Structure 1
């Protein structure tokens, strides 16, 4: 704002357009990974992510910054969509719970650690070092991907094997199933762009769970500015101290991952009970993935109310941070339960279901920061957080409703597993 002489709203557009890119990219990159494999998409995506950091780092006007941030998000979005497919490649269905919990937490732990590191960078150096640091880190990651990450997508691995066998044997009839597919890349991408919206329009469970996770994403990104308003305004923290307050959400997210064994045992208990009632051995229902989301849906409003009404200047600063710990736990439990449920309930359309989730989440994540600071200043710290808590209270019943009645709803769905 100081260097480019722009308003706070215009400066926030960099974050907004970055998140817009994150939301639009999966529908394009996920189908490409089904043609060319996971590895080429990862490497090219991370390479373009690195490249688009350069204009952000050396920008001489706000327009350059905003445009570069959008393409930065678009490039990095592969890791929000394709990574879910990689988890499915590497683990069997009954092993998905823990990997999906880690996968669900990773995109949120990163944004929480960002303000922590950024607080120190921007307090003690120039803002451009934020992007220099990201360039160093993404360069290290790109090198690691090139030398250590193999291809995991089974149809592409079979194609490589078929090519090798044809060379060795001279038998041109040896072909992998993916080589017999007649659909075009363009046609597949167009279907991939349309189907997420079909799911949002026609599937009640997809729409409601996507809206709930989108609300949480919006609140998380809103906190990037709101924490500064609260802790600078009420507690007179410096920038690096405000960054440290995000450790509360981080601790809550890590604690939620630590609870995974408990929910894993509960999942197997539900499977065993279904077997005892006459179900197939080892059989499961997608709804058995929802208990973490049910618990998370309760924790989120508790954390928000706690954070808001503890934000008086006469209350010790650690008290609102504890509220953010509870919010962080609820956030990861909700996302873990919702992501795993969508993958399990829509096995043939999992990529589209996750793309729909990513799109709606990113819409909220992009929009909320634009009014978050103003909302906290106009309504006050307490009622601004309470408004967010009341919104999450409205959404709280849905994970339980779908746990209880999801099977009946799926019977009438043309996309979900019946």
Structure 2
């Protein structure tokens, strides 16, 4: 998973130095009286129990946002009946939400640089909950779809800063495991959605899909309000400087963030342009992002494919079809359980390269994912026949679920380390591109499976994944040569 330094490049994009030292005595102050954090004031000095409780809240919140994207999967039939729309229009409930989560970080991501993590969490999640009331109680399809798009946009602000909070809490030696746990949580959401939605739509009205989701989101919002403190050190310094000015009456106290000349509008402008410049100029970034986008597109395509494979072929009812997504979730959890091995491997590479391993060392885990992902899809493709027991395609789904986490781990960490000065922008470009794939794939999944059949359609996806599987192997060999000419890599 990403190292703390890599994630800090992404999350702590403000160009300020945060020095965690004891503040000097008044007689020792420099003329400008810059404020520093005392050691005990640093978020990294919290107890492990408190740190992990915050990581848990953040992970549950991330999973909740992405779960809302796939909750709509089994609500489509009810939406079609009540609003009198086609199946394609009903699928837009998924696509527009995902499009919102992909484009939102470009606009909302820089907000935490100015207002801190806590303010972004509280504002975005409150707005997310409020907008989903509009989704749940929409009187017509237009209102439903508009609120779905806006709620995805609001939820994306939470996702764009959550990784930074994990990096705020742990130092270099201990950040890898909590970051691995966090990175997995957004991908568990699309798997939990069908599980919940299947049971709800089997037994209740489709609107209860969103009522149940709102209950979860409401509890999460309460947890954010009560138990998640500010952890962004530039903002903590700003608060401390303001407190000292008030207590002492001395206006000379200041925090670096108060003296920076960067405006929020400039930050948003850079956030909206640099990601696309990286995609255009950096071939490695573009190809790895297309690979990751295909993977997420397949995950969202399963929302339409699994009802065909398990519903029609194996005669599962709605709630049992929802349970069929457990296989992917098991694979993802298995991938997470193997993270200590990969963390130890990276530590050995750090020693081997005297503390500065090249970004290509991050591609090892992607090499395994490049094999597992198409293997799982091919396995699923040729076991979807009704005469083959349903457990076979479900086990196959766990294999490509495991490959999914490995691929995303390698893409995220490579982008962060290879484009360290622009890590936030590199990941924003990744988020935008993969959200486009995730939004579009469900729209053509039904016609593709109807035309090609479960074997042909799934094998086609496996073939596309196979074409991209050489990427980590090739870039491991030629990556240093390509990066030598990079416009955005470290100088």
Shorter-chain TM-score range: over 0.9
Contact 2:120/2:158, CA 8 A, preserved across alignment = no
Superposed, which structure 2 residues align to 1:16-415 within 5 Å?
16-275=95-354, 282-415=355-488
Q: For 1:88-125, what per-residue CA distance to the aligned partner results, in whole angstroms no more than 9, with x for missing partners?
A: 32233454432332222111111101101110000011
Q: For 1:245-280, what per-residue CA distance to the aligned partner results, in whole angstroms no more than 9, with x for missing partners?
A: 0000000000000010111121122222223xxxxx
* Aligned-partner Cα distance in 1 for 2:270–2:107: 10
Please, which moves more after superposition, 113-122 or 198-207? 198-207
Contact 2:238/2:255, CA 8 A, preserved across alignment = yes
* Aligned-partner Cα distance in 1 for 2:185–2:207: 25
* Aligned-partner Cα distance in 2 for 1:36–1:60: 36
Question: Structure 2 length as normaliser, TM-score?
Answer: 0.82
* Aligned-partner Cα distance in 2 for 1:109–1:151: 26
- Describe the SS at the equivalent of 1:290: helix
Number of residue pairs the alignment of both structures matches = 412
Contact 1:100/1:339, CA 8 A, preserved across alignment = no
* Aligned-partner Cα distance in 2 for 1:401–1:180: 45
* Aligned-partner Cα distance in 2 for 1:98–1:393: 30
Please, which moves more after superposition, 301-310 or 157-166? 157-166
* Aligned-partner Cα distance in 2 for 1:337–1:54: 37
* Aligned-partner Cα distance in 2 for 1:414–1:81: 24
Contact 1:229/1:377, CA 8 A, preserved across alignment = no
- Describe the SS at the equivalent of 2:268: helix
Contact 1:26/1:81, CA 8 A, preserved across alignment = yes
Q: For 1:354-399, what per-residue CA distance to the aligned partner results, in whole angstroms no more than 9, with x for missing partners?
A: 1101100100000000000111111010110111111111111112
Question: Structure 1 length as normaliser, TM-score?
Answer: 0.96
- Describe the SS at the equivalent of 1:110: helix
* Aligned-partner Cα distance in 2 for 1:417–1:262: 28
Contact 1:298/1:330, CA 8 A, preserved across alignment = yes
Structure 1 unaligned regions, length at least 5: 276-281
Please, which moves more after superposition, 50-59 or 76-85? 76-85
CA RMSD of aligned residues (A): 1.3
Structure 2 unaligned regions, length at least 5: 1-79
Please, which moves more after superposition, 167-176 or 359-368? 167-176
Contact 1:85/1:351, CA 8 A, preserved across alignment = no
Residue number in structure 2 paired with 1:279: none
